[in-house]
Structures are given as structure tokens and as C-alpha cells.
Amino acid sequence: MAGSRRIPRAPSEEARQRFVAFSVLLTGYDSAELWGTGMVTPYLCFLIDAVGDQVTGALLSKWTAVADAAGKDPAALEQLVRDEILADPTLGPVARNLIVMWYLGEWQQLPADWRDVHGTHAADQTCFVSPEAYAQGLVWNAIGAHPQGAKMPGYGSWALPPTIPEELP
């Protein structure tokens, strides 16, 4: 209906689990760390708003398919994600946006070429998902710091040697 806002619908538990599993691969953080940000549901809802149910569904289905196909072989999984998702003209830009969203809390407007094909959703604007999303950006943890203007580490903490981000398995 023109002029009315779509009624937000809580994504199903299954959708959220698939979203988290895909996000674990995209971010290099484990599922507990991602759930711990409190941003799983807000980000999935934002994604649905910004690209629509259909593209969201296609992305998560494709993820499930490549994850099943790769079995327990991480190298195969990574290659399949590159070939089947990141190289896909519809899913690639969305997946790259998810990387940025998780690391910065920011959604970037999709490329004009993408919008020519799939249309423009009102939520597809460059913006921070919320003030909290900014504070939960994963990049700050990755660089051994804290978000500027949030999670203040305390007086004099800056004088201590930096915490070297640990060697990841």
C-alpha cells in the first residue's frame, strides 16, 4: 500500500541461525561473539528492509547450499562462497555490504547497477543502522581498540602497551 510502512516481521529462528552461520564466515568471528553484539536480529531485519525478502531468501538459501556442498572442508567453502556468492551480480554486492555492516555498523547504499535490476528499497540508504550498531562494529576489536566515543576503556588505559590482536587459528 502506497505511503504505509511495512510492518516489521521478526525473522524466523531458522533464518537467524543461517544468517549467523554465514556471518561467521564473512567476519572471522564465531557465533557466540556475533550473538554477543546484540546485532544479529537488528542486522537481519535491516537487510530484509534494504534488499527485500526475496534477495535475502536467495542469499541465505545459496549460503546453505554452498555450506552443504563444502561439507567440512574450509578451503572448499571459501572458494564456493567466492564463486557462488561474491561473484554473483545479485548476491555479491549484498554480501560485501554485510561485511561492512558487521565491521562498522554501517549499511552502504547498493550500487546503481544493482538497483536498476532489483529496484530501490526505502531503507537502502548509506547510514549507520543505529548508534548501537556503530558501537558494536567488529573492527574495533580487530584492531585492539574500542569504538571512538563508546566503550570507554578508562583513565590512563592509553599508556599501556597495546593488546596485540592474537594470532587467529
**Contact footprint for other proteins (CB under 8 A):** 25-29, 78, 81-82, 86, 96-97, 99-100, 103-104, 106, 108, 126-128, 130-132, 134-135, 138-140, 142-150, 152-165, 168-169
- Reading the block at residue 106, the C-alpha cell is 554501517
Instruction: Please return the burial class of 128, using the count of CB atoms within 10 Å of its CB with bins 0-12, 13-18 and 19+.
Output: middle
Q: 104 vs 123, which CB is nearer to other proteins?
A: 104
CB of 137 to other proteins, least distance (A): 8
CB of 27 closer than 8 Å to CB of 141: no
Beta bridge partners of 1: none
Q: How far is the CB of 20 from other proteins (least distance, A)?
A: 14
User: Closest CB to other proteins among 4 and 157?
Assistant: 157
Smallest gap from residue 33 Cβ to other proteins (A): 11
Among 67, 19, 44, 16, smallest CA distance to 129 is for: 44
